[in-house]
Structure 1
Amino acid sequence: MTDAPTPLPRGRILVVDDQHNMRRTTALLLREYDYAVIEAGSGEEALGVLAKEGVDLMLTDLKMTPMDGLTLLKKAREVAPSHLQVIMMTAFGSVDTAVEAMRQGAYDYVQKPFKDGELRARVERALERGRLLAENGLFAKEFIERHGLSALVGGSSAMRELTSRLQRVAQSDATVLVQGESGTGKELVARAVHAHSRRKDKPFVPVNCAAISETLLESELFGHAKGAFTGAVRTRKGLVEEADGGTLFIDEVTETTPAFQSKLLRTLQDGEVRRVGESTAVRVDVRIVAATNRDIELEVREKRFRQDLYYRLNVVTLRVPPLRERLEDVPALAEHFLKRANARGPHPRRLSKAAVDHLMGYGFPGNVRELENLVEQAAALAESEELLPEDFPLRPGAPVNAGGPMGAPPSFLLEGAGSRMPSLAEAVEDAERRAIVQALERHGMDLGRVAEELAVSSTTLWRKMKRLNLRTPGPEQRE
């Protein structure tokens, strides 16, 4: 019997404080959370550690002698890797100096005496940001390998056209609008744009507008000043500032309100951001890649999306085709997902020809995400090494080419619309309506389960139901 491997530390933290008791107490607390901690009693000692050791986060006191925290911050930038994060520890009454430290590059500050949970939360956020910078900066080659064009699996003509256009636009700083149905891989496309751009060694910061409430979205993107609203106990940078020098990916941008769209437009026009509650603007150099699964031109015509913002975002459009339009890519995608599942699972699987034929006869209303889930489920539950058609239970009512020239026409053509061809917006809305209605029939009014099946957030599902004039549950049912 062999011993279980010792778990690796979750991050290497340098604690700097000229007060021995405070330094030791902070270090002990962080070690309890499985961090590897190095202690330094002065700024000079800390610089020596940074020059020799790999450190992810420096937690330093602001008031020290002879070298104070601000001076240490400046000198640390000269010897430490770019992904090093710095949190300032400050006593009550020194908050203004701590804010100045943030303007000079510190990630955050924490006031003494601090609560255990407060320190842990801020340390975890700082380490996560450092990991993001390391992935996008020091390991730019690995980022390209993971998120570059090779991640866009498929050799169909639709995918070749997409990758060719993507390569051309990636080299510029043009704003990009990625359009496509849910589950087609819009974020993969956005990451590929970043990976092949001159900004590839800077942060790629994603934000999903549908997953954040309207009241928090402005603060999340633009940041806020201390006291700007109830609960704003400290100044905080927004995601736009976090993406400075890199790429900000704004997913589901059409889920935002006109008021928020106005603020986003101003940021695009002026190249600066103003935190909530502050009058001073901060200059930022950010490339915007936005995405939507709606017909954004229809949203503009219906006055739900600002026309001037649409023109700002729609400099270059990349359309991600739904999987039903490139079924020839299904075998390659299935093999790709199975290879990943085999790397994680205990039993290697292989696809049978019958299983591949079975999958290619399906319409995939959930697109690539649905195929990925099907393959992972089959790899986990199959009884034999060879995956058979019965290992892939497909949703009823989604035949190949449904609604297309070779399949049944959409419902609105069968219900008195004559022989006219539907617009793209009508086709998309009809497909969404049918998918939601069928899911509601299977799960009743349990929107959580419906949203999970359709691979969207509950907020997005509820908004779609309102837009499509489908009966929505009352507040007590939504809960």
Structure 2
Amino acid sequence: MKGRILLVEDDETFRSFLQTVLEEAGHDVLMASDGLSGARLIKGQQFDLVVSDLKMPGKSGLELFRDAMRDADPPRFIFLTAFGTVEEAVGAMKDGAFDFLTKPLEDPDALVRVVDRALEGLQRSRDYLALKESEAGGLPPEELIFAGSAMQPIRKLVHNVAGTTANVLIYGESGTGKELVARTIHLLSPRGGGAFVPLNCAAIPENLLESELFGHEKGAFTGAVQARLGKFELAKGGTIFLDEIGEMPVALQAKLLRVLQERVFERVGGGKEIRADVRVIAATNRDLAEEVAEKRFREDLFYRLNVFPVNLPPLRERRDIIPLLTEYFIRRFCRLVGKKLKGIESEALRAMKAYTWPGNIRELQNVVERAVILAQDTVRAVNLPDALVGAGGPAAAGRDKLKMVERDLIVQALEQHGGNRRQAAEELGMSRRTLQYKLKEFGLLG
């Protein structure tokens, strides 16, 4: 990581030497000749790191450090000290300074190494804070997003791909946490300090989607009274998350392909090429390979997006985490509504573990929110929806039989029409999308 460093040193020759060492290592270096001028710079500008002499006239490095630590987001400090003041430098480390080096500096690489460690630690801290902010905004922390045995391979994939520039395509049913995984990839990436800009391709009318993606110039169409930035420009230096990419119209897919290939685009109604300095993460609940075969999704775009596929399992395959998620959501909604509950009774938890959760984690979250609102001292079975409470009882057996009948009817319809899903759906009186969901639910995709 390359950082913005303030170098505070009263010895001009030594200061110039240190500046050369740090700039040759790729860092952006500003300099101050004493503690007072260093303090003014810290007050007026943002620095990742301060490399400061400990003993200086006017204001010592230690005073500079203590003043800076009062800020909400203080820079890290590395001290340069003579042998006689090592004890003071050690004391400063106990108060939060990162490290110190003794003067004279015999090995310039030692400074580069300690600076690199400080900046890497700073980046990890920022990643952690970003994840905590996500949690405060209603997003579970990373350890909960990837909880359970089924998610351990996914967690490894996410950490492997996060530091690269590869496009990622996340597959999963609605409500499985595709956006949470995308945000985690972004936060763990070198672009983690930039913007994360989500766009649900299914939620925007087709005639407005191009403008949402690429922006438009004034007068580009009726109602375009002023120029507007699109998501690709808003995500500059960061990540754009294209949810439900399978819903994107074919004509617009060609324009997205150009962005991925050439890293440029134009606003609607404009001719100026704009550089797309973004990472693309896409997600879908469709089988895109089948969409390609049916000519509803461009094959070349599919291969561009599918560089690094990540498949999220549904909640019914992650039943071991239902108690953890339930506890997390109870705590969260108790904070939001100002309640104090003891937790959840065993009967209610058994019902939740027996349920199939067709809406996945999003459905679980909604169920817990409702239960917290209704509960008095403990979340009980009576606070859960009727369909969920009966999931493990005699009614469940009846539902299972109905499911088997439904599965057999689907299989028969597909066999009758030679595997043509459109014709099978028409015969069954359901939409093709509903049939697609049923095929996934019954494990008939392959």
TM-score (norm 1): 0.57
Match of 2:374 among 377, 381, 393: 381
Residue 191 of structure 1 and its aligned partner are, at CA, apart by 0.4
Residue type of the partner of 2:358?
A: P
Letter in 2 for 1:333: L
Q: Shift of the alpha carbon at 1:276?
A: 1.0
Note if 1:260 corresponds to 2:260: no
Q: Distance in 1 between matches of 2:164 and 2:249?
A: 29
- Tell whether the 8 Å contact from 1:154 to 1:332 is kept in structure 2 after alignment: no
CA RMSD of the aligned region, Å? 4.0
Residue 383 of structure 2 corresponds to which residue in structure 1? 391
Aligned residue runs from structure 1 range 335-414, under 5 A: 335-349=327-341, 350-382=343-375, 384-395=376-387, 399=391, 408-409=403-404, 411-414=406-409
TM-score (ref. length: structure 2)? 0.61
The Cα shift of 1:266 comes to 0.4
Structure 1: which 5+ runs fail to align?
A: 1-47, 55-80, 82-135, 438-461, 469-479
Relative to 1, partners in 2 of residues 1:418 and 1:245: Cα closer, same or farther, differing over 3 Å? closer
1:387 alignment partner, SS class: coil
Structure-1 residue corresponding to 2:304: 312
**Equivalent residue for 1:208, pick from 194, 200, 208:** 200
Question: Which residue among 126, 129, 136 is the counterpart of 1:142?
Answer: 129
Match of 1:190 among 162, 168, 182: 182
Q: Which structure: greater helix fraction?
A: 2
Question: Quick one: which amino acid aligns to residue 373 of structure 1?
Answer: N
- On the 8 A contact 1:228/1:277 being kept in 2, the answer is yes
> Given that residues 224 and 238 in structure 1 are in contact (C-alpha distance below 8 angstroms), is that contact kept between their aligned partners in structure 2?
yes
1:332 matched to which residue of 2?
A: 324
Q: In the TM superposition, what is the alpha-carbon distance from 1:187 to its structure 2 partner?
A: 0.5
Aligned residue number for residue 45 of structure 1? none
Please tell me the residue identity of whatever aligns with 1:347: K
| DSSP-derived class of the 1:262 partner | helix
Can you give the 5+ residue segments of structure 2 that lack an aligned partner in the other structure?
A: 1-39, 47-72, 74-122, 135-139, 438-446
**How big is the shift at 1:202?**
0.5
Indicate if the aligned counterparts of 2:176 and 2:314 stay in contact, CA closer than 8 A. Answer: yes
Q: CA deviation at 1:396?
A: 6.6
Supply the distance in 1 between the matched residues of 2:296 and 2:142 (Cα, whole angstroms).
Answer: 36
**Alpha-carbon deviation of 1:142?**
2.0
Q: 1:405 to 1:160 in 2, by over 3 A?
A: farther
The aligned residue for residue 417 of structure 1 is: 412
1:117-148: CA deviation from partner (whole Å, max 9, x where unpaired): xxxxxxxxxxxxxxxxxxx9996542133448
Partner of 2:285: 293
How far the C-alpha of 1:414 sits from its partner, in A, is: 4.2
Q: Alpha carbons of 1:220 and 1:408: their partners in 2 closer, same or farther (altered >3 Å)? A: closer
CA deviation after TM superposition for structure 1 residue 289, in Å: 0.3
Residue correspondence of structure 1 range 238-277 to structure 2 within 5 A: 238-277=230-269
Contact 2:352 2:388 in 1 (8 A): no
In 1, Cα distance between equivalents of 2:167 and 2:209: 21
Counterparts in 2 of 1:417 and 1:463: CA distance versus 1, 3 Å: closer
Number of residue equivalences: 308
* C-alpha deviation, 1:52, in angstroms: 6.2
- Mark the CA change 1:247 to 1:152 in structure 2 (over 3 Å): closer, same or farther: farther
- For residue 149 of structure 1, report the CA deviation from its aligned partner: 5.9
Offset from partner CA, 1:257-305 (integer Å, 9 cap, x none): 1000000000110011211111121112110000111111111111111
Give the letter for the 1:194 counterpart: H
Alpha-carbon contact 2:171-2:310 (below 8 Å) kept: yes
Name the CA distance, whole Å, in 1 between partners of 2:188 and 2:231: 21
